[in-house]
Chains A and B, each alone.
Chain A
Amino acid sequence: DVKVTQSSRYLVKRTGEKVFLECVQDMDHENMFWYRQDPGLGLRLIYFSYDVKMKEKGDIPEGYSVSREKKERFSLILESASTNQTSMYLCASRSQGASHEQYFGPGTRLTVT
Chain B
Amino acid sequence: GQNIDQPTEMTATEGAIVQINCTYQTSGFNGLFWYQQHAGEAPTFLSYNVLDVLEEKGRFSSFLSRSKGYSYLLLKELQMKDSASYLCATNMNTGFQKLVFGTGTRLLVSP
Contact = CB atoms under 8 A, between A and B. Distances in A.
Interface of A: 30-31, 33, 40-43, 45, 48, 50, 56, 58-59, 90, 94, 96-107
Interface stretch (B11-19, B67-75, B90-98): B90-98
Given A31-B97, A96-B97, A98-B97, A105 B1 contact: no
A100 B89 CA distance: 12
Contacts of B43: 43, 90, 104
Contacts, number: 57
A107 B2 contact: no
Is the contact region of chain B dominated by helix, strand, or loop, or is it mixed? loop
A42 B104 contact: yes
Given A31-B97, A40-B103, A98 B42 contact: no
B97 A101 contact: no
Nearest to B30: A98
Given A40-B103, A42-B104, A101 B48 contact: yes
A98 B96 contact: no
B53 to A, nearest CB: 14
**Secondary structure dominating the interface of A:** loop
Contacts of B91: 98
Contacts of A33: 98
- Give the top 8 A-B pairs by smallest Cβ distance, nearest first: A42-B103, A104-B42, A101-B45, A43-B101, A31-B97, A98-B30, A98-B91, A98-B31
B43 to A, nearest CB: 5
B50 A42 contact: no
Given A43-B1, A43-B87, A59-B2, A102 B41 contact: no
Nearest to A43: B101
Contact of B44 (A45, A99, A104): A104
Contacts of A101: 33, 45, 48
B45 A42 contact: no
A100 B30 CA distance: 12
B101 A42 contact: yes
Contact of A99 (B2, B50, B89, B101): B50
